[in-house]
Every structure is written in C-alpha cells, then in structure tokens.
Structure 1
Amino acid sequence: MRTVDLFAGCGGMSLGFQKAGFEIISAFDNWKEAVACYSSNFDHNIEQIDLADAQVIINKLNNTRIDIIIGGPPCQDFSHAGKRTEGSRADLTDSFAEIVIGLKPQMYVMENVDRAQKSKAYKSARKKLAESGYGITEVILDASYCGVPQKRKRFFSIGKLEQEDNFLLPVIKDMLSERPTTLRDYFGDRLGLEYYYRHPRNYSRRGIFSIDEPAPTIRGVNRPVPAGYVGHPGDPIPLNDALRPLTFRERAQIQTFPEDFVFNGSKTSVEQMIGNAVPVDLAMFVGNAIRRYNTESAKEKKTKGKEVAAI
C-alpha cells in the first residue's frame, strides 16, 4: 500500500510500516531536527512543513495515488506528563482528519496517547471521519503485548472506507501475545546488566527496574541517579553504586529502533525524538494486522465470487 506519514518525527511509524511491507512514498513534519534525522535513515522524501494548514498538504498531494495515511499528531496536550488535557496542539488532530478527508485514501491510521481517545479534539475528528465513510476501529494497545519490551499504552484509530466499525479488532486481538515482552526476551544478555535506573516523575514511584519485566514507558528525558533518590519499597534491589540509567542507544532499542539507526541533533533533541516516537515494532504490529485483514478479506471475496458463479 502506498503510504504517507504525517507528523512523522524521526520515523518510528514509517519504519514499522515499512517493515510490514508498506511503501512509504512521502513524509511530513515541522520539527527541523527530526526531519534531518528522518532524512538520514530513509530514501524517500520528507518535507518540513506546518501541518496545521490541511489544505496545503491536500493541494500538494492531490494528484498522488495514496492508499493509506498514517501519523501521530503531537500529543503533549493529551499527555499524562502534562497539566493540560486540551490545548493548541490538539487542533492538529483535526488537521490530520481534514487531510484524510480531503485526500480520501482507502485507509488511515492515527496514533496518540491513550487518554486522547476521550478528548474533544479526537471526538470532533472522529465524527468527521465517520461522516466521510470510514468504518473505525479504536483500540488501546499495550506495546509489551505487541513484541515491544516496553509497557507503553497507545491509542490507535484505524479507518477503512465502507467498512463496519471495529472491523480490525478480531485480527488485532488474535495477534496479541499471551504475556508481555520483557527486556530479557528481547535482548537476551546483550544489555550486560540485570537492573537499571529510570528516573520517576516523583519519588512516590519506584526508579529501579529489572530486565525480567517490560521497561516502563520511554520518555523524552533521561536522567542519572540523583542524590535525592533514596530508594522505594517497590524497587527490586536496593540502590547501589553500580546502578546506572540506560544510554540513549539502549533506550532507542527498547523503542525497537535498529542498532544502526542514525540519530543526529542535540542530546536533548535526540532524547526527545526517541521518547516521542511510536515504537517501530508496535507500528509494524498494526501494519501486519492491516495486511492480514486485507488478505483475508480478499480471499473471502474471491471465495464468495466463485460460489455465486457456481450457482
């Protein structure tokens, strides 16, 4: 399927869909450093552009055959880490919907933090997409049940023209693993550690984790062990001098970026890119679910056609 990635960031969603066999023909984002990082890792074009003006993108792509539009509008205003539930960036969710409606691809995939599903911005976008003929599957996926060694819950809105709502849900449920993926499952002993430090948002939460569990959500900041951290009852081991935070490269691999993925930009920007990204293998999971659904639907249609012809 010919695919356009909106709000592409450094390329987590693009790479995941590419791994699932989709052809990414173009990508767009407005963050200069993320665009430069994306360009270092993909052969197809990415353009730095403000996606708030949907008509600009519609005009730019109007004569291009597009089968599916994917993307994750900025989620800061829906994030658990922020104080606001809605804000100016939430308008970009509407922009995503307007671009989809204007270009009318067969399918779309919109990704965001789990709480975005209940936002006014998404409800507005959903109404427009449904009125334009899209059957919509809405699902919150825990990445650790999708082959990613990280407990990261993300909301996906997946639409297809002339389909019933929740058309993709049976396939997704069938593909989920029975247990979460741990760091040891994913890395084996390659990390060279058994425990690591991940700075909590406040000291009422633990900061030490084992590789025999999924990593907590990778965020856009990564801090060393501070003097103020004295331990937590939930920590699997006591604080000790050998304990360290994960490196940016280890964090990127927990986001399932390959070891040779090129990250460029300032240290702060790279950490933010990694934290903001859709885990590559989570995007691949969704892409594989779409491919499986389309293949099964095509087989079913062909079988019904033969039955009708026989009659």
Structure 2
Amino acid sequence: MTINSIELFTGAGGLAMGMQLAGCHHRALIEWDKDSCDTLRGNISSGYPPAHDWHVIQSDVRKINYSSLDFSVQLISGGPPCQPFSLGGKHQAYNDHRDMFPEAVRAVRELKPKAFVFENVKGLLRKSFSTYFNYILLQLTYPDVIRTESQTWFEHLAILEKLHTSGHYSGVKYNVVSRLLNAADYGVPQSRHRVVIVGFRENLGVEWSFPEGDYSREALLYKKYIIGEYWESHRVASNHRTTPTASELKKAQLFASKYADVKEAPKPWQTVRDAIGDLPDPQSKAALKIANHEFRPGARSYAGHTGSVLDEPSKTIKAGAHGVPGGENTVVLDDGSVRYYTVRESARIQTFPDDYLFFGSWTESMRQIGNAVPVRLAQMIGESVIKELRRVEK
C-alpha cells in the first residue's frame, strides 16, 4: 500500500525525511522560506536517495489550492511555525500572524486524509495557551465545522464544544490524540520536548497510541556508574569522567536490580559524545573532507549561557546561532573549553544523515536545523502511524 502524503511547513526536511523513511511517499512538500527550499532542492539535485523524487512547492501555504492536486492524499504531516507558542518568543499565540494551525486544519478539511501528524513546541502546553490548544484539537476533530468571518475563535470554540459533548455528528470526524514527547527517549542525542498531535479518520476504526521510547536516562547512568561500559567504549580518560550524584547513583542501582535480564532493558540515552565523537576536530585538515563541518569562532560561556556537556544528551538545538539564550548551540569539550557546534554536529544531534547537506550561511543552516524535527523521532512516530494504516487497509 502506497501512503501518498503531503507536508506543510517543511523547513529543512527533518519531519519529511523521517516520514519518508517510515514509508510515506511525499507528493508535495510546501515551504515558503527560500533558504529552506534551497536545502531541500540541493539534496534533491544531489540525488540523495530519500529525497530524489520530492516535489517542493515554494509558496505561502495560505495560497495553496488543494483542489488542484491530481492525486489522493492518505496522510498530512507538518510543523506549523512554533514562534507564536515558543517559550523564547513573544507568546502571542492566536494573536500572532504566524499562527498557521488554521492552515493545518484547512488542509485536513479539504484533503480529508486518513491520518495526520503535526508537531510543535512544548510551549503550546503552557497554562495561558490551554484553552487555545483545546480549540486546535477540536478544530482537527471536526475540520468541516468552519469558523465564519463574524465569529471570534472563542465563539467558534463554544460551538465545537457543544458539538463534541452532544455525541451527534454525521460529518467527517477525526479521533485526535496528543502527547508531550522527549526526543531523547527515542534515541535522539538531545533533550528536546515537543508536542505531537496525531489524528485518524474516525470511520477507519483505528485503535492507536503513541509508541513508547526504548531509551532511558537510567540506562545511561547504569552504563556509566555501575559497569563503566560507557567510558570504556569511548576511551574516556579517568580524569574526564564525571562522578555521580547520590541521586544518580541510586537510580543506576535501581535500574540494575530491575533489569536482571539485560536484553529486556531500555537502551541508554544517546549523548553528545555518541553523536559527534568520531568527527575530526573542526579546526583540523581532516575536517575539510566533512561537509558542513566548518569551525566557527567566538563561542563564550558565562552565567546562564553554558554549553552542552559531552556525556549527556545535548541541550535543545535552537533556531539561532550567536546569542542563543542558554548556550544551547555550544559544546563543552574535555579540556573545559567551549566552542560552537558545527553545522554537521548540530545535524547529527538532530539525527540527520551525514550525506544530507545544508545550504546557506552557517547562521542560516543553524536556524534550519534548530527549527527541524529530529529525523529519528519523526521516523518512529511515522512507522507506528503507517503500520496502523496498512493494517486497516488489509
């Protein structure tokens, strides 16, 4: 069964690649940003296998006429711009012109896919946004119930709430669930919390829940502080190994007692060292052979602005370069020095393959990577959704 899909707000292609690897056939990738489109098209023209037949539509999604598409769509995915809800933004939500959730709803309404997957920032769950988040979920549940020009979103919400509680609706309806996920629990070497919204058309009779991550912090603590395998495998000198806190040691010991059979145990969280440890120093000649692995000078560390440490998952890679508030785009090396992640290192932390290239300046590439969905997280969710669609089809 071919899963024809389209993706909205594609950016640099992290979600698109993950869904493609999961089994989607992207018929259209919609993105308005020129630099992001340059990256997408650059990988298409280079013949990168998962992207070789991607079709990029560089356009404002509000101008897309879905009725003109000459193919059916089984799945829609996308990451509506997160700035309206980001903890680092102005928190204007529905008052922000960049809120594109209404366009996500329009795509579902007009294309009526079997399923959809949307991703956004943790800030969407802030208490001040809770009513609007519920409104988003209800719009996706009943996409055909359109808000009129004379209605405020709050009046429209009241209509949807009454409809939802009545239990009487004969139109197209989606069963919608959402969950806050930490990418580290899915094998991404980064602590990155994101809200994922998944919906299935109700008439399919799908019973689905989010796949559980099979990586854990406790497993990493066990590998470090109980059996020492982590340090040995990376050949970390004893003076560079961290000492566990009492709480960490207790968690590691509890993990050891719980999983007598190691085969049943979760895998350890992936660390920065796991992700980039085999890359050459970006200031060395060997680095010249690695695409997107150029050194960037000027990194500093100060109170409230500290880099990621090598032997933990990275801090959340953010859509910025210089001046990222918490130093998220810098790394602390074994000798205590700090430097910026290279583009390739950041891409690895977002689980992009090494042969996927980023086009544009260092600052622009870092912005694209920071806005992306980790490829591995997207693939894990995509595989679970597509498996259910194929089961229903059979």
TM-score, normalised by the number of residues in structure 1: 0.79
Partner of 1:77: 84
Partner of 1:177: 215
Identity of aligned residues (%): 30
Q: 1:140 to 1:163 in 2, by over 3 A?
A: farther
2:116 to 108, 128, 153: 108
Q: CA deviation at 1:165?
A: 11
Given that residues 75 and 89 in structure 1 are in contact (C-alpha distance below 8 angstroms), is that contact kept between their aligned partners in structure 2?
Answer: no
What do residues 82-125 of structure 1 show as CA deviations (whole Å, max 9, x unaligned)? 13242424531111111111110000011100122453554333
- Structure 1 window deviating more from structure 2 (146-155 vs 204-213): it is 204-213
Is 2:261 the counterpart of 1:254?
no
TM-score, normalised by the number of residues in structure 2: 0.63
Q: CA deviation at 1:258?
A: 1.2
Separation in 1, partners of 2:372, 2:74: 23
Which secondary structure does the structure 1 equivalent of 2:338 belong to?
A: coil
Partner of 1:26: 28
Partner of 1:57: 65
| Residue type at the aligned position of 1:159 | G
Separation in 1, partners of 2:89, 2:21: 32
Q: 1:83 to 1:239 in 2, by over 3 A?
A: farther
Partner of 2:377: 282
Separation in 2, partners of 1:95, 1:252: 28
Q: CA deviation at 1:224?
A: 8.9
Is 2:55 the counterpart of 1:48?
no
Partner of 2:103: 95
Given that residues 199 and 207 in structure 1 are in contact (C-alpha distance below 8 angstroms), is that contact kept between their aligned partners in structure 2?
Answer: no
Q: 1:164 to 1:135 in 2, by over 3 A?
A: farther
Q: CA deviation at 1:158?
A: 0.4
Q: 1:247 to 1:188 in 2, by over 3 A?
A: closer
Partner of 1:128: 139
1:206-217 correspondence runs (5 A): 207-217=306-316
Q: 1:221 to 1:163 in 2, by over 3 A?
A: same
Q: 1:268 to 1:294 in 2, by over 3 A?
A: same
Q: CA deviation at 1:239?
A: 8.2
| Unpaired stretches in structure 1, ≥5 consecutive residues | 230-234, 303-311
2:187 to 140, 147, 150: 147
Q: Which has the larger radius of gyration?
A: 2
Q: 1:237 to 1:66 in 2, by over 3 A?
A: closer
What do residues 254-310 of structure 1 show as CA deviations (whole Å, max 9, x unaligned)? 111111212112332211111111111111111122134345x44xx97xxxxxxxx
Q: CA deviation at 1:26?
A: 0.9
| Residue type at the aligned position of 1:35 | C
2:19 to 8, 17, 20: 17
Number of aligned pairs? 281
| Unpaired stretches in structure 2, ≥5 consecutive residues | 44-50, 143-171, 218-268, 283-296
Q: 1:34 to 1:238 in 2, by over 3 A?
A: closer
What do residues 19-54 of structure 1 show as CA deviations (whole Å, max 9, x unaligned)? 11211111101111111111112332111111134x
Which secondary structure does the structure 1 equivalent of 2:99 belong to?
A: helix
Partner of 1:308: none
| Residue type at the aligned position of 1:124 | Y
Q: 1:153 to 1:89 in 2, by over 3 A?
A: farther
